[in-house]
C-alpha cells in the first residue's frame, strides 16, 4: 500500500511540475501537438502517448465537433496513459483542444 501511495504522490508531483512548466506559455497548436506526443502527459509514467493510439493523429479528424472533447481527452489520459486528468482551463488542455481543432 505504501508503494501505491508513494507512486500517487510522485505522479501528482510530476503533474504539478508539468503544469507549472507550461503555465507561462499560452495555449497553442504547437504545444498541443507536443503534448499529444508526450508519454508523460498528465504525469503518466508509461511509454504510451496519445500518438501511440492515434499515429499521425488518426481518428481525431472530427473530434473538434464533440462538445465533450475535454472529457474525452481526460478519459484517454486517465485510462489509456494512466495519467491524471488535466484541468479544463489549463494551458495543456486548451492546447490539446487547439491541436484537435487544427484538423478542421
- Residues 2-25 have pLDDT tens digits of 666 656 656 666 666 555 455 568
Give residue 2's pLDDT.
Answer: 62
Q: Which of 20-24, 67-71, 80-84, 100-104 is predicted least confidently? A: 20-24
For residue 74, pLDDT over 60 is answered with yes
For residue 83, pLDDT over 60 is answered with yes
Domain span at residue 96? 2-101
28 Cα distance to chain centroid: 14
- Structural domains of the chain, count: 1
Instruction: Please provide the DSSP assignment of 23-82 as one string.
Output: HTSPP-HHHHHHHHT-TTGGG--SS--HHHHSGGGTT-TTGGG-TTHHHHHHHIIIIIS-
- Residues 35-61 have pLDDT tens digits of 999 999 999 999 999 999 999 999 898
What's the whole-model pTM score? 0.77
Q: What is the DSSP letter of 90?
A: S
Q: What is the CATH number of the domain that holds 67?
A: 1.10.760.10
Nearest to 36 by CA among 20, 47, 24, 52: 52
Amino acid at each position: 500500500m505504501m508503494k501505491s501511495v508513494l507512486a500517487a504522490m510522485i505522479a501528482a508531483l510530476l503533474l504539478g511540475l508539468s503544469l507549472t512548466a507550461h503555465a507561462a506559455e499560452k495555449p497553442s497548436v504547437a504545444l498541443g501537438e507536443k503534448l499529444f506526443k508526450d508519454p508523460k502527459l498528465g504525469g503518466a509514467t508509461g511509454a504510451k502517448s496519445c500518438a501511440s493510439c492515434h499515429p499521425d493523429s488518426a481518428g481525431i479528424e472530427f473530434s473538434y465537433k464533440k462538445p465533450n472533447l475535454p472529457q474525452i481527452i481526460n478519459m484517454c489520459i486517465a485510462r489509456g496513459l494512466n495519467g491524471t486528468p488535466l484541468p479544463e482551463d489549463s494551458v495543456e488542455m486548451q492546447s490539446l483542444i487547439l491541436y484537435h481543432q487544427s484538423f478542421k
